[in-house]
Structures are given as structure tokens and as C-alpha cells.
């Protein structure tokens, strides 16, 4: 259960979607002066090097954030949609000399945007990533603003709900390497809504040929609808999910072809931002003719 390391996948197309949504959501929530608490149930190591061994082994960033950065350097590059430009702007803040050698995970993106009065609660259970997260966060010298907890976010994150200010964003993005994660996400979301019905909840999930992956957004929609809460569902597909057989008869798995973000109580500003950004993600990150996006919402 401790095999997954996000360092291999940092900056890929799924991170582009997840972090574009995260930044746009935070930008809206931080417009109010009242303190905001952000809870990250699966924080990872927090900060990654895209020129290091892990990211270099997978090469996934080359088809994600690095492709976006390179595309913007082209002389004929069209202007980016506001949400996508904002995402690349935040990545650029961590790379003042240009490029994208450093990739901030959700903890560092969130801290970068938070104000002094806001709080960040980070959960990470993987022993190696938890130690790395501790060391990375220590460099920020953020004091009590950030709490790092080596615990199961599914089982423990709801202890911070509701926060004293009655304003919170909860990001839930497990690896889903364990099949039971899908059910645990749904259970966690249900418990969180019972404790704090007005919080904003953002769930990332992979879109893969597995029934649980396709059932999760439908079940989250049912959960939100029964609770009388608005919801938003965005997906990004960059390639086909089919296994390919080459001329020699060898089979090749395509890797992660698509991912989605499901939000309960999303900012009203998020949908129009994604309506402009998602088509550009498809255009710039497509790996074959199957690239596509979807965007749906309800209340």
C-alpha cells in the first residue's frame, strides 16, 4: 500500500487539471477577509524536481506542464485562458529563472496563495514522502500556519471540520492504487458534508478502465444532490485508454489517459473559467485524436 510516489507523476496532465482547478478555487475563496482553512488529505512530498531521477524516469511532465511552458515560448502562441495563465504564473513563481525545473505540489501551491490568517493541514501516510514533506515544509518557516500530520487523511482529516472561521477547502486526491480508495473517498465526502455542509470539497480521480473509477463521479453527484448542494464535474482526456499491440506482438499500456475533478460547493466563478481553459488544455496537451474534455454542473 506504500508503493505510490507522486514524484514519478509530478507535473503531468492530471496535475495541470488538478492544480488549475485548485488555484482558481483558492483565488475565489481568498477574496473574503475571513480566515480560510485548507485540508489536504493526501499531501505527498509537497515539492518536486522535474529534472530529477523520479520525474525523469516517467517523463510524464514532458506531456504536461513542460509542454505548456514550451508552447508559450513559441512566437505564434495564442494568449492563454485566464485560469491556465494563472496556473503557469504560479508555476513560474517557483522557477524565477524560467522553465519548470521545480514543480510545487498542492501543499506548496496552497501555501504560496494563503494569507497570514489562513491555515493549512497536511496529511501524508507514506513514510518516505511524509519525511520529505516535513523537511520541505520546515524550509518555509511557516510556524503554526501549517500542520503536517503523518496520519490517514481519510480517517483523520474531518477532525478539522468545521474550522473556527466556518470557511474551509478540502482537497482529496489519493493515489487510488488500492481499489478501496474509491469507496473511502465517497465515505469521507459524506462524513465531511455531515460535519460541515458549507465547506468546499474538491476530489481528484483517475479515469481508467475500472468500474469504480466511472462510478465515483456519479455517486458523488448523487451525494451532493441529496444534500442539496451545488456541484461541478470537469474531466480532461489526452489520449486513448486502449492497450496497443505493436508489429512484434508486444503490448503497451497507455499510462493514465484522463482524470477528473469533482467539486461540491464550488465557487460560482469556476465554471466560466474552466469553459475557457479546458479547450486549451485539450488543444495543447492532446496526445492523439481521442483528446477531449467535459464540464458539467448542477445544484
Question: In the block, which residue shows the cell 505548456?
Answer: 68
Distance CA(60)–CA(145), nearest Å, equals 32
How buried is 44 (Cβ within 10 angstroms: 0-12 exposed, 13-18 middle, 19+ buried)? buried
Q: Which residues carry out catalysis?
A: 173
Contact 63, 288 (CB under 8 A): no
Strand 47-49 to 292-298 pairing: unpaired
Q: What residues have CB less than 8 Å from 219, skipping those under 6 apart?
A: 186
Amino acid at each position: 500500500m506504500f508503493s505510490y510516489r507522486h514524484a514519478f507523476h509530478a507535473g503531468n496532465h492530471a496535475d495541470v487539471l488538478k492544480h488549475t482547478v485548485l488555484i482558481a478555487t483558492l483565488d475565489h475563496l481568498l477574496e473574503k477577509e475571513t480566515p480560510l482553512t485548507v485540508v489536504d488529505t493526501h499531501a505527498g512530498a509537497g515539492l518536486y524536481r522535474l529534472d530529477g531521477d523520479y520525474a525523469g524516469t516517467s517523463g510524464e511532465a514532458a506531456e504536461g506542464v513542460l509542454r505548456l511552458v514550451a508552447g508559450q515560448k513559441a512566437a505564434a502562441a495564442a494568449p492563454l485562458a485566464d485560469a491556465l495563465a494563472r496556473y503557469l504564473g504560479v508555476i513560474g513563481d517557483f522557477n524565477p529563472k524560467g522553465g519548470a525545473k521545480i514543480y510545487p505540489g498542492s501543499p506548496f501551491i496552497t501555501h504560496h496563495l494563503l494569507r497570514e490568517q489562513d491555515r493549512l493541514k497536511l496529511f501524508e501516510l507514506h513514510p518516505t514522502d511524509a519525511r520529505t514533506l516535513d523537511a520541505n515544509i520546515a524550509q518555509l518557516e511557516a510556524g503554526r500556519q501549517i500542520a503536517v500530520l503523518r496520519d490517514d487523511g481519510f480517517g483523520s482529516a474531518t477532525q478539522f471540520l468545521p474550522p473556527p472561521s466556518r470557511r474551509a477547502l478540502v482537497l482529496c486526491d489519493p493515489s487510488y492504487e488500492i481499489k478501496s480508495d474509491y469507496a473511502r473517498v465517497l465515505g469521507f465526502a459524506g462524513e465531511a458534508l455531515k460535519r460541515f455542509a458549507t465547506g468546499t470539497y474538491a476530489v481528484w480521480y483517475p479515469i481508467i478502465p475500472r468500474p469504480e473509477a466511472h462510478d465515483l463521479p456519479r455517486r458523488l453527484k448523487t451525494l451532493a444532490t441529496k444534500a442539496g448542494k451545488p456541484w461541478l464535474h470537469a474531466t480532461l482526456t489526452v489520449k486513448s485508454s486502449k492497450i496497443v499491440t505493436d508489429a512484434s506482438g508486444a503490448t503497451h499500456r497507455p499510462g493514465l489517459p484522463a482524470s477528473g475533478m469533482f467539486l461540491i460547493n464550488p465557487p460560482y466563478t469556476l465554471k466560466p473559467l474552466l469553459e475557457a481553459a479546458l479547450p486549451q488544455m485539450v488543444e495543447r496537451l492532446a496526445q492523439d485524436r481521442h483528446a477531449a474534455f467535459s464540464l458539467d454542473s448542477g445544484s
